[in-house]
Each structure stands twice: as structure tokens, then as C-alpha cells.
Chain A
Amino acid sequence: DSGVTQTPKHLITATGQRVTLRCSPRSGDLSVYWYQQSLDQGLQFLIHYYNGEERAKGNILERFSAQQFPDLHSELNLSSLELGDSALYFCASSVGPGSYNEQFFGPGTRLTVL
């Protein structure tokens, strides 16, 4: 158990819908990262927040957005869902923003878009 929690574990929805994925980092960690893992693209970085501020964006679609709240939990919002958005979404946390900080990954949310 990494100490990072993600809810829900599974999500099934229809095209065009909007969903919210939630992540609670390990106690004391200020950084939250979101990653998407699909069969054809592998693990891809989406976005990084540090202490409530957006720090970096990766291959995140405009239909997706995220935020980190004052209590440091984070939410990833996915809207106008398409079949291709079906994937595993992982959240990771680390103590600081530094590249040498170990990242702790949650168990993931499996999103299925029908």
C-alpha cells in the first residue's frame, strides 16, 4: 500500500459524459501527478500540481482539467468523453516537486467509455 488513494476504482460511462476522478496523496506529500495508461500509448504524464499550483502539463487534452485543493487532494475532470479515453488513470504523489523525489502511485481508476 503506497498511501495514495484513488476513487472510484472502476468507472463505466457513456460517450459524451463527464466524470471526476479523485486522488488523495500520501500524508505530507505536496505534489500530485496524473498519468494515463492505455494499451496503445503506454503510461503518459498528464499534469502536475504542487501545493495547489499547476507546475507542468503533459499530453493532456483540452477536454480534461485538474485541480489541487487546499487539503492537497486532487481531482481530474474528464468531459465530452470519447471511446479512446478508456484507460487506467493513475495518480502519484511526492514530497516535493524535485525530479529526484520518489513518486508513490495509487492503485488507479479504470475508466471504460461505452
Chain B
Amino acid sequence: DAKTTQPNSMESNEEEPVHLPCNHSTISGTDYIHWYRQLPSQGPEYVIHGLTSNVNNRMASLAIAEDRKSSTLILHRATLRDAAVYYCILRDYRRNSGAGSYQLTFGKGTKLSVIP
């Protein structure tokens, strides 16, 4: 899978928006951009994913650059419960049939701290 680069850590004040960046300059045209997060002492949790267009769901928004070489996960109002490690992961959607690797490849992610 293509590599992603994220800041090691970020801080946000509670109830303020948070923009978590991810660089993926070697992304291919068939890579989906996925975000997962891991709250302390829990398993990872799916947040959002997209291919080309910006995406919104109840948890967050995903803004994808026009050239797809970077993306930003947006939490509109950070809460204390959003303090977690956020992982940006690329997944090649061609690997959907036959035998192949479908696992998630986790990097170090961004540790988000939320200040009350």
C-alpha cells in the first residue's frame, strides 16, 4: 500500500473544529482514503473513507485535495471523547476479488489531545 504521512500529535480545545492532515503523495488512482481512530484502551474504530469527492458522515468530514495527494479529516466540534490516535490509511480497491491482501496497514497515526 502507498505510504501516508501524518503529524505525530496535535492539540485542540474542546468544542473547536479540528483539522487532521494526511499526505499521500504516491497515491494511485485506485486507492481509497480511509480514516480510523483508536480511543485509549479500545480497538480501532472506522471514521470515514472517500475516493475523490469530499465526504460527510455523522462523525466527521473528509476533504480530499483535487490532486488527491493530501486529505484532511475534519472534526467539527471536538469533544473530550475525540481524544484518540487517528490513522490515515490508503486501500487499493482493485483488491476486491480473488485472493489478495485486504488488511489495513496502520502507520503511527496522529495522537489528538483535546483540552477542556
Chain A residue at minimum C-beta to C-beta distance from B51: A100
Of the residues A2, A4, A100, A108, contact of B96 by C-beta under 8 Å: A100
Q: Is B45 an interface residue (CB 8 A)?
A: yes
Chain B residue at minimum C-beta to C-beta distance from A96: B96
On whether the beta carbons of B44 and A100 are closer than 8 Å, the reply is no
Q: A42-B108, A99-B32 are in contact. Are A58 and B46 (CB under 8 A)?
A: no
Q: Is A107 an interface residue (CB 8 A)?
A: yes
In the complex, what residues of B have CB within 8 A of residue A101's CB? 102
The docked-state distance in angstroms from the alpha carbon of A55 to that of B92 is 16
The docked-state distance in angstroms from the alpha carbon of A98 to that of B111 is 28
In the complex, what residues of B have CB within 8 A of residue A96's CB? 96
Chain B residue at minimum C-beta to C-beta distance from A108: B43
On whether the beta carbons of A56 and B101 are closer than 8 Å, the reply is yes
On whether the beta carbons of A90 and B102 are closer than 8 Å, the reply is no
How far in angstroms is the closest Cβ of chain A from B33? 11
Task: Report how many residues on chain B are interfacial, defined by Cβ distance under 8 Å.
Answer: 25
Chain A residue at minimum C-beta to C-beta distance from B45: A105
Interface centre among A90, A97, A101 (most CB of B within 10 A): A97
Within 8 A of B (CB), among A76-114: 90, 92, 96-108
Q: How large is the interface on A (under 10, 10 to 19, 20 to 34, 35 or more residues)?
A: 20 to 34
Chain A residue at minimum C-beta to C-beta distance from B96: A98
Q: Is B115 an interface residue (CB 8 A)?
A: no
Q: A56-B101, A56-B102 are in contact. Are A100 and B43 (CB under 8 A)?
A: no
On whether the beta carbons of A104 and B103 are closer than 8 Å, the reply is no
On whether the beta carbons of B95 and A45 are closer than 8 Å, the reply is no
In the complex, what residues of B have CB within 8 A of residue A90's CB? 43-44
Q: Can you pick out 29 interface pairs between chain A and chain B where the beta carbons lie within 8 Å of each other? A: A4-B43, A31-B102, A33-B104, A35-B103, A35-B104, A42-B106, A42-B107, A42-B108, A43-B44, A43-B104, A45-B104, A55-B100, A55-B101, A56-B100, A56-B102, A99-B32, A99-B92, A99-B93, A99-B94, A99-B95, A100-B49, A100-B91, A100-B96, A101-B102, A102-B46, A102-B49, A103-B36, A104-B46, A105-B42
Extra contacts besides A55-B101, A100-B96, A102-B46 (5): CB < 8 Å: A45-B103, A98-B96, A99-B91, A99-B102, A105-B44
